[in-house]
Structure 1
């Protein structure tokens, strides 16, 4: 299955119009239409927004995997990366550490808000 087919399948499975989906990820309805017709491929940032919105991997969208979610092994890798990021943040001087945690918290809150819409 091609990228355009996967995007359309996910959108229709979630009972979204092209306009609703476009608004949800911050692009135009025309762009969604072009993606679904295979006339245009989404850029990296938009591809990530699509994956985040539908809670699937970019590899799934690109047809590199038939599994929409991370495997157990992939999840372990992601968890290790999270631990590494936390260690880096904790090694920063106090003021920089506070700023890093604030930025991370803002990002997480943004993603939660986006998923709830």
Structure 2
């Protein structure tokens, strides 16, 4: 199975239309159409986004792994960091151990989590290239 076929399979498994996936990836529908038809190669950063959206490994999307190993927040620190960042961005009031923290401290927390996510992404790229 080719990469573009796996993307279609994973998208349909989620019940998403092509436009839904394009929106989630911040791409236009025509670009997503070209990716899914195999006319356009997937870029490295898009591969990481797809893996996160579908909660599978990049190796599965690339066809290096035949079995779909579902990533979970319990086992994937990158997904957990992304979810924490999204939570902070979406919420007005954030609590730490039950105590509300002010906006300036939320920004410090966000900066720290963003750095941790950047490190996790760098480690992912380093080790996924070695496979």
- Does the TM-score normalized on the shorter chain lie above 0.5? yes
Give 1:105's match in structure 2, choosing from 106, 113, 118. 113
Which 4+ runs in 1 deviate beyond 6 A?
Answer: none
Q: Normalized per residue, which structure has more strand?
A: 2
2:18 alignment counterpart? 18
1:68 and 1:14 map into 2 onto residues whose CA distance is 14
2:27 alignment counterpart? 27
C-alpha displacement at 1:39, in angstroms? 0.5
Q: Normalized per residue, which structure has more helix?
A: 1
Distance 1:19 1:59, change over 3 A: same
Any stretches of 5+ residues in structure 2 without a counterpart? 78-106, 117-131
C-alpha displacement at 1:30, in angstroms? 1.1
Any stretches of 5+ residues in structure 1 without a counterpart? 80-98, 109-117
1:53 and 1:59 map into 2 onto residues whose CA distance is 14
CA RMSD of aligned residues (A): 3.0
Distance 1:69 1:23, change over 3 A: same
Q: C-alpha offsets along residues 13-62 of structure 1, whole Å, 9 cap, x if unaligned?
A: 11111111110121111121111111011100011101100001110000
- TM-score, with structure 2 as normaliser: 0.55
- TM-score, with structure 1 as normaliser: 0.61
> Higher relative contact order at CA 8 Å, sep ≥6: structure 1 or structure 2?
1
The reply to whether residue 41 of structure 1 matches residue 49 of structure 2 is no
C-alpha displacement at 1:68, in angstroms? 2.4
C-alpha displacement at 1:107, in angstroms? 7.4
